[in-house]
């Protein structure tokens, strides 16, 4: 079961830094901010898979949340500058639907997988229950 501290670092930093990252795309360039955000997010995901302590995991997940917050405002700006008219409306609505689904599935999926991968007791328990048969009833 996921607890509040496991969901907090990524979600909290994502919300806090979302508004702070809005003007960066206008200054540096939307494509550059989006690309760097995705790259940092991917690197943090790989680091989360191999990290072995909780504090380090919280720090990397916080950085991952900040990187994800770089991609959201710039993705809408890229859609607004790339498409026009009816195609722009369809692109914005599709982007919104995909981001909403990705936020829910991604947060729950990555947090639970990271928790299971970094908890040796849970991994051993799951493997031992599926491989070793239960003793017969007496």
Q: Report the 10 Å Cβ neighbour count for 56.
A: 14
**Contact at 8 Å (CB) between 65 and 12?**
yes
pTM over 0.85: no
Give every residue of the chain whose pLDDT is below 50, as ranges. 1-6, 125, 127-131
23: containing domain: 4-119
> Into how many domains does the chain fold?
1
Does residue 135 form part of some domain? no
The pLDDT score that the predictor gives to residue 90 is 93
- Token pair in block for residue 61: 């997940």
pLDDT tens sequence across 11-33: 555 556 555 666 667 778 888 88
Average pLDDT, the chain: 75
Per the domain annotation, does 132 fall within a domain?
no
In a domain, 115, yes or no: yes
Q: Is residue 20 part of a domain?
A: yes
């Amino acid at each position: 079961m996921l607890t509040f501290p496991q969901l907090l670092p990524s979600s909290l930093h994502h919300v806090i830094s979302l508004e702070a990252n809005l003007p960066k795309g206008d200054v540096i360039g939307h494509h550059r901010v989006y690309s760097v955000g995705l790259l940092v997010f991917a690197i943090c995901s790989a680091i989360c898979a191999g990290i072995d302590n909780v504090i380090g995991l919280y720090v990397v997940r916080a950085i991952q949340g900040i990187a994800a917050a770089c991609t959201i405002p710039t993705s809408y700006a890229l859609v607004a500058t790339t498409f026009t008219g009816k195609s722009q409306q369809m692109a914005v609505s599709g982007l919104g639907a995909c981001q909403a689904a990705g936020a829910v599935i991604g947060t729950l999926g990555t947090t639970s997988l990271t928790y299971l991968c970094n908890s040796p007791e849970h991994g051993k328990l799951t493997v031992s229950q599926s491989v070793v048969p239960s003793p017969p009833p007496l």
